[in-house]
Amino acid sequence: MDVLMFLASRAGTVTSLEELMTAVWKGVVVSDGSVYLAISQLRQALGDAANGVSYIETVPKRGYRLTVPVESMSFDEPPREVTRHPPRSRNRVLIAGVCLLAAIIAGWAAVTLRPTPSAIEHSLAVLPFADLSPEGDQGYFADGVTEEVLNRLASIRDLRVIGRTSSFQVRGQNSDARALGEKLGVEHLLVGSIRKAADRVRVTAQLSEARTGQQLWSQTYERKLDDIFAIQDEIAKAVAAAMQVKLGVGELARMPGMTRDVAAYDEFLRGMALNLVMRRESFPPAIAHLQRAIDIDPTFSMALSGLHAVFNNGAFAVPERAEEWRRAAAESLERARQLTPDAPHVLLEGGIAAVRRGDWLGGAELFKRLEVSYAENGMSAAAAGPRGVLLLAVGRIRESIRSLESARAHDPLAPALAGFLSQAYLSNRDFRSALAEIDRGLQLEGLRESLLNSALSVALNSGDRSEIERRLAAITDDTFTARVHRRLAQFLEKPAGVAAEIRSLIPKASDGERVALAVWAAYFGEHALALDILTEVMPRRGHAGVIWVPLFSEARSQPGFMVLVENLGMSDYWRVYGFADFCQPAGERIQCR
């Protein structure tokens, strides 16, 4: 509300991030992310005006502007024709304008948060999970899982969940499902059990219809007992997602192209989790899981879009199958497009496919449609991530950082965002933030090998020898670039002959290893060699953001860099949407640094 009030006080004029932070967070040290989060929340609350324009406009490189007029309203009279007030009435205009906008938010809340028929129809009680451990000493964990699941489910829109006190009141009662449902006033019951043995824990959850006792869904989760609280959270998320799918409630279930079959959704989740591993052996089983999801539910276009992503990612990791998998990726995306042409996941994968083939203008147009689709599906905040990734690839780094920080505020547990944001910080020569973001990402599940490799790249770019040694020590043997790093680390003390060593490694190196070789070449001052490697490998890579890191600044100043840029197809995009932070037009040519 403070941000909204300040924007209202300057209605029609652009307000910079610095002005907002100074005015709203007086005396408090905050990052740009605080502003992005506030703007994101306001946009989600306000939605769009009748003409489709956002109430809060982002003015690139300048700040934000309120696009609607601020009008005066009397507190003791009905709204009437607005008259323009002289400067002495400014405070009254400001207060009334803020009240008007606050009323818009209140109206939105009244409409969107008012109980709907589905909220009454879909009611659930989460009964205390039973402790079936041999020693009977895991009651605390059973209660913890119950509470986590209950809290997750309670946050789902259109699902009425009975509170903890009422649910726990029926602990140990042997009443049948119908009696419990009538007593608690719910249509559905979720029951479960936990069993701990040695270093393993098994949690079973079952959903049933209270009136008939019919079991609608059940699932068993078995995990290694490394972090008991993380397990509680993981299971709670999985159960909540399954409930949305099975009962058809919440934002997840309303997504176009979403399945209503939990078995299909479970296969989808398994496949996408394996996709995050990003190792050649993880892609075949990921593909198998997603194909099973589609076999179960042929209308599951979200799984088809996911299959497009996995096939494309796998093509980079398994080059001998690249042609086959890229063809299969295109077929999967086309099937998804035929089912749900305007679904966010279809537009997202379509945009990614366009930029991978060098069609940056076409990709940008699809990403613009994606923002509209996200807004139409109540997911406006989700647009920040794809926008930030695109801006990073084309070298508009400062704008990229703002978008990616906003995306992180919306989805803080996404490891991919940590990878992209750390690369954006690195390109902006903010080495400390880049490493901090990588270390944050390493605490999340997924992309560990990629993040370890990125951490070493940041250290090499910084030139900090102690940090290089530390990040080298963290590289595990199963990291996909470990072989390259081990060989070239030997030249840190005596760099003589390093260029010959890099050239000897290129023929058998994967594309990911070749990018690492280019970073090492630039670190040792072999800039022409680094550019040669990038020119050869980058047109096959899925994302071009690495070319903007500091170590490649010397390569960017060479004439051959424009050959790379033309091969990537970026120059046409720049002339329409704006140049990279490191490039500018020089007559008919483009100069980069």
82-124 pLDDT, tens digit per residue, is 444 444 344 444 444 444 444 444 444 333 333 333 334 588 8
- pLDDT tens digit string along 338-383? 999 999 999 999 999 998 888 999 999 999 999 999 888 777 888 8
pLDDT at res. 517: 97
Burial class (CB in 10 A: 0-12, 13-18, 19+), 230: exposed
Judged against a pLDDT cut of 90, whether residue 504 lies above it is answered with: yes
Q: Which of 404, 369, 371, 367 is nearest to 388 (CA)?
A: 404
pLDDT of residue 77: 46
Give the integer Cα–Cα distance in Å for 141 and 150: 14
Q: How many CB atoms lie within 10 A of CB 263?
A: 16
Measured between alpha carbons, how far is 48 from 109 in angstroms, rounded to an integer? 15
> Token pair 């209140």 is at which residue?
106
290 by Cβ neighbours in 10 Å (0-12 / 13-18 / 19+) ranks as: buried
pLDDT for 174 equals 66
Contact 353, 345 (CB under 8 A): no
When pLDDT is averaged across residues 135-163 and rounded to a whole number, the result is 83
Average pLDDT over the chain reads: 84
Angle among Cα 518, 430, 437 to the nearest 5 degrees reads 85
Q: Which of residues 501 and 242 earns the better pLDDT score?
A: 501
**Residues 58, 64 contacting (CB under 8 angstroms):** yes
Q: What is the pLDDT of residue 249?
A: 80
The Cα–Cα gap between 40 and 406 comes to 7
Q: What is the pLDDT of residue 524?
A: 97
**pLDDT score recorded for residue 369:** 94
Chain centroid offset of residue 523 CA: 31
**pLDDT surpasses 70 at 464:** yes
Antiparallel, parallel or unpaired: β 188-197 and 130-131: parallel
Task: Identify the pLDDT of residue 37.
Answer: 67
Question: Does residue 530 register a pLDDT over 70?
Answer: yes
Report the C-alpha gap between 399 and 404 in whole angstroms: 9
User: For residue 335, is pLDDT > 90?
Assistant: yes
pLDDT tens-digit profile of 289-322? 999 999 999 999 999 999 999 999 999 888 899 9
In the chain the first and final C-alpha atoms are separated, in Å, by: 42
Residue 242 or 408, more confident: 408
Spatial distance between the Cα atoms of 486 and 480, rounded to a whole number of angstroms: 12
Q: What is the pLDDT of residues 485-502, one digit of tens each?
A: 999 999 999 999 999 999
The Cβ of residue 262 has, within 10 Å, a number of other Cβ atoms equal to 20
pLDDT > 70 in the chain, percent: 87
pLDDT at 24: 84
**What's the pLDDT band for 261 if we cut at 50, 70, 90?**
confident
Any residues with CB less than 8 A from the CB of 408 and at least 6 apart, and which? 33, 414, 417, 418, 421
pLDDT digits (tens, 9 = 90+) for 383-426: 899 999 999 999 999 999 999 999 988 888 788 999 999 999 99
Q: What is the pLDDT of residues 161-203, one digit of tens each?
A: 888 878 888 887 767 888 888 888 888 899 999 888 778 888 8
Predicted confidence at residue 253, as pLDDT, reads 76
Contact, 225 vs 231, CB < 8 A? yes
By mean pLDDT, which of 108-112, 243-247, 475-479 is the weakest? Answer: 108-112
User: Which position has the higher pLDDT, 99 or 39?
Assistant: 39
CA dihedral 555, 556, 557, 563 (to 10 degrees): 100
Percent with pLDDT over 90 in the chain: 42
Residues 547, 108: Cα–Cα separation, whole Å = 44
pLDDT tier for residue 28 given thresholds of 50, 70 and 90: low
What are the DSSP calls for 343-412, one per residue? -HHHHHHHHHHHHHTT-HHHHHHHHHHHHHHHHHTT-GGGGHHHHHHHHHHTT-HHHHHHHHHHHHHH-T
Please return the burial class of 74, using the count of CB atoms within 10 Å of its CB with bins 0-12, 13-18 and 19+. exposed
pLDDT tops 70 at residue 551: yes
